[in-house]
Copies of this chain bind each other. A is one copy, B any other.
Amino acid sequence: MKESRYFYVPDAVNQTELPMEEALHALRVLRLQSGDEMFLMDGKGTFYRAEVTIAATKRCMYKIKETLPQEKSWRGYIHLVIAPTKMMDRIEWMAEKATEIGFDEISFLNCKFSERKAMRIVRLDKIIVSAVKQSRKPWKPILTPMVSFKDFINQPRTGHKFITHCYPEIYRKDLFTELQQLNDDEPVTILIGPEGDFSLDEVLQAEEKGYQSVTLGKSRLRTETAGMMAVCMAQLSLHK
């Protein structure tokens, strides 16, 4: 039973009540009652052991009993930057899987060959929250709305920056080999293009801004698979 008693409460320490959706789950599905134990996750690195103080029809009040700061299980900061697929469900499952595997931020790009030029991130945020709870991740990945490719690469950004693409005429290193050689705590930013890849011009612009051209290996991967594979590679290279 205890297994599912984890609730996402972004500002848990300053609140005394579960957000509505969490409260409904606590009361109607788990049937928690006054005096029951539960765990709160603030998505910013801390879990809290709490006790239900009042369980009303739609409201669930709590009192924090213990603060449980968590430790991050990987070095650096894994930032996936991807052009969303035409079909949103493909990006949704990727976001779910990347959250389970472990990463820090996802941003979306509007590229020259993007098939999807706009997206709503509310649903995606819910999917990420659900995966955070299910996989007990102390940090909720940050979700950044879509910007144009140009705007993104022009943002000042420190750390290791990579752009994956399929142009054989441009020298590309192997991403996994590069990631395995990193031994600092600097952020890692990985750009993944749309179904039709980045344009050659976009790749050259990124290189000018300090992004290294890389390949994900010999396999021909769909956009969402590439995104997930990049997160796997980063996680396998940077985990403590």
Contact = CB atoms under 8 A, between A and B. Distances in A.
A117 interface: no
8 contacts: A93-B93, A100-B221, A101-B219, A136-B220, A176-B236, A217-B235, A232-B232, A236-B236
A126 interface: no
Contacts of A97: 225, 228
Contacts of A228: 97, 228
Contacts of A232: 229, 232, 236
A235 B229 CA distance: 11
Contact size range, A: 20 to 34
B176 A220 contact: no
A233 B229 CA distance: 10
B225 A100 contact: yes
How often does this chain occur in the complex, in copies?
Answer: 2
A157 interface: no
A134 B97 CA distance: 21
A217 to B, nearest CB: 6
A221 B135 contact: yes
A218 interface: yes
A206 B149 CA distance: 50
Interface string A222-240: 1001001100110110010
B101 A135 contact: no
B233 A134 contact: no
Interface in A184-240: 217-222, 225, 228-229, 232-233, 235-236, 239
A43 interface: no
A219 B93 contact: no
